[in-house]
Structures are given as C-alpha cells and as structure tokens.
Amino acid sequence: MQGWVAASRSRRKAGKSPQACSMKNPMYEVASLLLEKLLLLANLKLCSEGPGAAEEEEKPASYYDTTYFKRGDLLEVPRTLFVHFGIYLGDNRVAHLMPDILPAFTDDQRQIQQVVTNKRLILGVLARTARIRVDTLEDFAYGGSILVNHMDQAFPSQALRDEEVARRAEKLVGATAYSLLWNNCEHFVTYCRYGSAVSFQTDKFCETVKMIIRDQRSVLASVLLGLASIVCLGLAPSTTLPTIIIPFFLWMAG
C-alpha cells in the first residue's frame, strides 16, 4: 500500500514539472473556466426552478385572455427585428400572412397547418411564397406581448367596421405571393382594417437605406473596401469593376 502511494506521489510530482506547466495552453484553461461557470449557472437555475421547470418551458403560452379581443381587432406582436401583424377572427383564431415554402411542395393541409418553422419561413422569404393562414392566438403570438388596434392612432384613414375587417381577412385566406417591401403581413392587415395596403416598417426601412446612400461617407467606405479587396485578392475584373461602379452609383444617387 505504501509503495502504491509513493508511486502515485512520484507521478504527481512528475506531472507538476516546470516544463509541463510551461506547455499548458492558456486558451484551453480559459475555455475550461468558462465551461465550469456555465455548468454552475445551469445547475443553479435548475435547482431554483425545480424539476418541472423544463417541462413548463416547452409548453406553448396559454395565458392570453381571449375575452379582451373582439372580432376584427388588429393585433401586433413586437419581435426582435420586426413587428408581426394579424386580424382576430374570434374563437381564439387569428388570420395572418406568413412566408412559407411548404405549400409550394405539398397540398397536405395537415402538414401546412403545422406551426411554421424558421427554416420554412426563411425559404419562403427567399422563394417569395407565403400563405394567409388561421392559427390560434397562442401560435400567432408565440409567447410575445400583444398590442390591440395600436395602429389606429397612426393610420390616416378611419378603421372599417369590425365585421367587415374580419370578412376581408377570411376571404383572403390561402396562398399568396410574398414581398418583403410590397406584400408582407402589415400590408395584409392594413388592407383588411383600413382599406389601403400600407407598411410603416418597410417605409422606415427604405428611409434608412436612403439616408445611408445619401451619406457621403458611404462612398468613401465603398472605395476603401474596394481597394482592400484589390490588395487582398489582386487586380481583376471581379474586384476592379465593383470598386469603380459601386462608389459611382452611390455618388450619383447622393
């Protein structure tokens, strides 16, 4: 037994030699430290929330009080980069326009009616295909807060009668073309509620693009990026032409 302890001590001493310590990778040590901190935080969160917390997070949000909404209401759900819109039809149903690639490949309504995944949505945007669909309030909001008829204050036209709004939305349910600038979910709801398809989000986006184009610093930045591409990739038509054409058009547009 004493011989085994002595041998293990000798191995530990050998492992702590200055040469071995000098060969330690500092990036490995930092990564190990961060991993330990993340595991510790995860354990603390699980302990504080209890064993059933993970199951509760997987459940869809079902705390929306449908008595607060009436048929024909315009619903807004603020997201990270945009606001999603829909028309409330009553009985916990919302009509809204969603980019979706799946209807281009199948007519199976059971598959199409499933919640649109991020992959389906992105591919739908790229393929410019969408669908005006009817979902539950929970699937529409996806856990976000809901604003009701918030656009009434900003829209110049008066809202139509609630029943007329809902009938317009129901009549448009089905496949439709999609355009990020000219036919999105905001165009759909403003047409249904106010009789005119307008998107304040896209108007603001276009104004931002105009400001960037008109800013003379954009010309300088494009020239510098073009020169950097020439230095890195060499003098070729693929690097020279963009370096000349893009600053020229920005200069003329500004």
pLDDT tens profile 217-249: 766 777 777 788 777 877 777 777 777 777 766
Of the pLDDT bands very low, low, confident and very high (cuts 50, 70, 90), residue 254 is low
Mean pLDDT of 11-40: 47
Distance CA 120, CA 89 (A): 25
pLDDT of residue 176: 93
The residue ranges of every structural domain in the chain are 2-49, 66-204, 215-253
Tens digit of pLDDT for each residue in 79-89? 888 899 999 99
Residue 11 confidence class, pLDDT cut points 50, 70, 90: very low
pLDDT at 15: 47
- Topology at the third CATH level for domain 66-204: endopeptidase fold (from Nostoc punctiforme) (3.90.1720)
Looking at residue 163, its pLDDT comes to 97
**Residue for token digits 């963009």?**
242
**Cα 104 to Cα 119: distance, rounded to the nearest angstrom:** 14
Write down the pLDDT at residue 69.
94
Q: Are 144 and 101 in contact (CB under 8 A)?
A: no
Q: Specify burial of residue 250 (Cβ count, 10 A radius: 0-12, 13-18, 19+).
A: buried
Which candidate, 139, 253, 132, 236, places its Cα nearest to that of 188? 132
What is the pLDDT of the chain when averaged over all its residues? Answer: 76
Q: What is the pLDDT of residue 7?
A: 45
Mean predicted confidence (pLDDT) in 123-149: 92
Instruction: Establish whether 185 is a catalytic residue.
Output: yes
The confidence score (pLDDT) of residue 221 equals 75
* Predicted local confidence at residue 213, as pLDDT: 67
**Global pTM value:** 0.63
pLDDT of residue 85: 97
- The amino acid occupying position 100 is D
pLDDT in tens, 39-87: 444 443 433 344 443 333 344 444 678 888 999 999 999 988 889 999 9
How confident is the model over 30-42, as a mean pLDDT? 49
- pLDDT computed for residue 81 by the predictor: 82
Residues 6+ apart with CB under 8 A from 135: 93, 94, 96, 115
Marked catalytic residue, from 21, 185, 206, 232: 185
